[in-house]
Amino acid sequence: MGNKKYIQTIGFAAAVVSIQIITYFSATGYFLTQLTMSGYYSIVVIGLCLLMGYAGQISIGHAGFFAMGGYITAVLTTFNFSPFVKNTLISLFSKTGILIARQDLYGGQILSFHPLFACAGAVIFTIVVAYIIGGPVLKLKGHYLAMATLGLGTIIYKIVIGTTILGEADGISDVPAFTLIPGLLEVSGKPSMRIQNYYFAWGLVIISMVFVLNLIDSRVGRALRSIHGAEDASNAMGVDTAKYKLHTFVLSAALAAMAGVFLTHFNGGIGPSEASIMKSVRYVAIVAVGGMANLWGALIMGALLNFFSMRGYFGTLDDAVFGGILILIMLFAPEGLLKTELFKVKRKNFQSAEKSGEV
Amino acid sequence: MELFFQYMVAGITYGAIYSIVAIGFNIIYNTTGIINFAQGEFVMLGGMIAVTLNNFMPLPSAILATVLITMIIGALIEMIFIRWLVNPSVLRMIIITIGISIIIREAALHIWDEKVRALPYFTGTEVTSILFFGAHISPQVLWVIGICSVVVVLLNLFFNFTMRGRQMRACASNRNSARLCGINAKNMVTLSFVLSAGIGALAGCVISPITYVHYDSGAPLAIKGFTVAIFGGLGNSMAAVVAGLILGILESFSI
């Protein structure tokens, strides 16, 4: 694959920077807030694209992992642990700085987890859950896998709705800022931090992208594609299909959880709609539009569609637009938008360039 | 003991509904090999359309019209989205039916609204009850159980003793052989959508007085119906009835 992916990555980074500069000069800096959010959603899309496009395993429950990351970090950073300070574990945590005291909105002292440890806890917990669930679930194929992941998403949604500590239908608000470099970079919704947050979010996107791109170029990536092509055949060739599928599932769940953590800190809260089935379907739709096995397509579509959706361009038809996109793409262009007839001519022109670059 | 019967009857009622939804899944699965994720939406549509039609026509004709309209919707869905696909992959079909269910749900949200609706009780009112071994049973429960049983019996007769039903079963067991025998397999697929839309809508009408209906009430039913369909073995409609009753009874006793 050579240098092609690095050129693409650099091009993408340049696009990210130029968008920021454009918004700066056209006085549309407020766009950056939605662009940051769609950056975090794009991380989920990258993970799901790896799982669906390359390993060929559908998941209609990925919003569940996103919400899991977000909710755990929200609970750990807002729950007041001071009544439990007698507990050895809690006092140990507070002495080692894992728990920090801070003032809440009303001026009272609360003792809660440092965002860094909350973030680590959220991601690790999600990884453990994904391992436990992924084992049995990924043995399923086709409809059964779709329904099982759909059920998983529903369960997480119902847990969120029905648990007092998770705020039930109201969600959790007042999540503190996640300070990464004091004074310079903190993940929060403060207008003064808007540009830093934009770069932080898209920096994370690029890092995830490079990581996943390198992964699919390696031995692992070839194994995944062979699973997608013919699972039995690749099994017969000595590929441990169950292991690869599980690890891909866990990786994409971890990416989703990480995105959930940062978006929760950025928004200062999280609500149950983040865990809803519609969100999961939306991620699937974006991966489908971008082209199942096309990370760049999924990333660009994810950024665009999430941005439009969050700016409210679709109005009350928001969900219907995603449903409609899903059907149209699957009916007319199951390979994704970038691979339809429309682009065939263009692709032919670039074929010689592609040949030297690809595989 | 009264409580036992009370729970038992409640379980059977819900079980009957789950069975009907599961049979809807099975009919389509048998002829096409796909799971129609929009099956729950047919139930929701049934309830919604019937509530609207009931405003200007008597209940029995409203229900009849509802079933017919939903059947037409089912046929249209099959003709527009599924009929012309050549060898679609499972992943593709799953995503298409999920998209269909979203479109139907959003359409319902825009046509009606997010309010919860219900048909009037078929006989009596909310407080009418029949004493049965010490348990108080609403007559609507008897309607639900009765209509579900009739549907199951009729479907059984249809699949075993009519030409169409036999043709559909032939398509289910071997599509290519069925086509060689001169059966129009594509029409059978349309027919399967029509049938499962129809019985879904009927189920939606019958349960709406008890469980109410709103634009989002299809998805939970679809998930339970799918559970039942799996429990009884995909494609096996009679086993789905037993599985549905077991799930319904388990559910009502576990509360």
Distance from CA of B125 to the nearest CA of A (A): 32
Write down the pLDDT at residue A304. 85
Write down the pLDDT at residue A357. 42
B155 pLDDT band (50/70/90 cuts)? confident
Distance from CA of A277 to the nearest CA of B (A): 10
Spatial distance between the Cα atoms of A329 and A281, rounded to a whole number of angstroms = 14
Interchain CB distance below 8 Å, A144 and B110:
no
Q: Is residue A173 predicted with pLDDT exceeding 70?
A: yes
Tokens of A6: 């690095």
A338 pLDDT band (50/70/90 cuts)? low
Distance from CA of A56 to the nearest CA of B (A): 9
Q: Is residue A201 predicted with pLDDT exceeding 80?
A: yes
B72 pLDDT band (50/70/90 cuts)? very high
Chain A, nearest residue to B101 by Cα: A323
B67 pLDDT band (50/70/90 cuts)? very high
Tokens of B186: 């594509």
Pairing between β-strand A185-187 and β-strand A178-181 as defined by DSSP bridges: antiparallel
Q: Point out the least confidently predicted range of A27-41, A196-210, A330-344.
A: A330-344
Interchain CB distance below 8 Å, B106 and A278:
no
Write down the pLDDT at residue A107. 63
Tokens of B77: 């869905």
Q: Which residues lie across from A99 on neighbouring strands?
A: A113
Which site among A327, A332, A335 would you substitute to test the B interface, given the most B Cβ atoms closer than 10 Å to its Cβ? Answer: A327
Tokens of A237: 């060739």
Q: Which residues of A touch B92 (CB under 8 A)?
A: 330, 334
Spatial distance between the Cα atoms of A25 and A27, rounded to a whole number of angstroms = 5
Higher pLDDT, B191 or A83: B191
Distance from CA of A119 to the nearest CA of B (A): 33
A253 pLDDT band (50/70/90 cuts)? very high
Write down the pLDDT at residue B209. 85
Q: Is residue A351 predicted with pLDDT exceeding 60?
A: no
Topology classification of domain B2-253:
ABC transporter involved in vitamin B12 uptake, BtuC (1.10.3470)
Tokens of B180: 């060689």
Reference A165, options A84, A276, A80; nearest CA is A80
Tokens of A294: 């096309």
Q: Which of A60, A317, A330 sits opposite B92 (nearest CB)?
A: A330
State whether the Cα torsion B100-B104-B109-B110 is positive or negative. Answer: positive
Interchain CB distance below 8 Å, B102 and A326:
yes
Q: Is residue A2 predicted with pLDDT exceeding 70?
A: no
Q: Which amino acid is at B185?
A: A
Q: Where are the alpha helices (DSSP H) in chain B?
A: 2-32, 39-53, 59-77, 90-111, 139-161, 163-173, 175-180, 185-211, 218-232, 237-253
Higher pLDDT, A1 or A277: A277
Please give the average per-residue pLDDT across B43-64, as a whole number.
89
Write down the pLDDT at residue A106. 66
Interchain CB distance below 8 Å, B103 and A320:
yes
Distance from CA of B124 to the nearest CA of A (A): 35
pLDDT per position as a tens digit, B192-234: 899 989 999 998 888 888 888 888 888 888 888 888 888 888 8
Q: Is residue B73 predicted with pLDDT exceeding 90?
A: yes
Spatial distance between the Cα atoms of B207 and A213, rounded to a whole number of angstroms = 51
Q: Is residue A358 predicted with pLDDT exceeding 60?
A: no
Q: Is residue A340 predicted with pLDDT exceeding 60?
A: no
Q: Is residue A104 predicted with pLDDT exceeding 70?
A: no
Tokens of A106: 């009303």
Determine the Cα angle at A215 with ends A198 and A47, to 5°.
50
Q: Which of A277, A284, A320 sits opposite B95 (nearest CB)?
A: A284
Instruction: Note the CATH architecture for domain A4-78+114-357.
Output: Orthogonal Bundle (1.10)
In chain A, what's the furthest Cα-to-Cα distance? 71
Q: Which residues of B touch A316 (CB under 8 A)?
A: 110
Please give the average per-residue pLDDT across B45-70, as a whole number.
90
Q: Is residue B174 predicted with pLDDT exceeding 80?
A: yes
Interchain CB distance below 8 Å, B102 and A288:
no
Q: Which of B89, B102, B226 sits opposite A319 (nearest CB)?
A: B102
Average pLDDT, chain A: 80
Average pLDDT, chain B: 85
Q: Is residue A108 predicted with pLDDT exceeding 70?
A: no
Instruction: Tell me what percent of the residues of chain A surpass a pLDDT of 90.
Output: 8
pLDDT per position as a tens digit, B21-32: 898 888 888 887
Domain boundaries, chain B: 2-253
Asked if A2 is an interface residue toward chain B (Cβ–Cβ < 8 A), one would say no
Please give the average per-residue pLDDT across A330-336, as a whole number.
76
Interchain CB distance below 8 Å, A324 and B99:
yes
The burial of A90, by beta-carbon neighbours within 10 Å (0-12 exposed, 13-18 middle, 19 or more buried), is given as: middle
Residue with tokens 């060929």: A56
Rg (CA), chain B: 18
CB-CB contact of B35 with B225 (8 Å)? no
Which residues have CB under 8 Å from B129's CB, separation 6+? Answer: B136, B137, B138, B139
Domain boundaries, chain A: 4-78+114-357
Chain A, nearest residue to B83 by Cα: A331
Please give the average per-residue pLDDT across B64-70, as a whole number.
93
Interface of A with B in 298-337 (CB under 8 A): 316-317, 319-320, 322-324, 326-327, 330-331, 334
How would you classify residue B158: left for phi > 0, otherwise alpha for psi between -120 and 50, otherwise beta? alpha
A225 pLDDT band (50/70/90 cuts)? confident
Which site among A331, A332, A335 would you substitute to test the B interface, given the most B Cβ atoms closer than 10 Å to its Cβ? Answer: A331
Which residues have CB under 8 Å from B157's CB, separation 6+? Answer: B165
Q: Which residues of B touch A142 (CB under 8 A)?
A: 90-91, 94
Q: Is residue B38 predicted with pLDDT exceeding 60?
A: yes
pLDDT per position as a tens digit, A14-39: 888 888 888 888 777 778 888 888 88
Tokens of A11: 């091009």
Higher pLDDT, A78 or A91: A78
Please give the average per-residue pLDDT across A131-151, as a whole number.
85
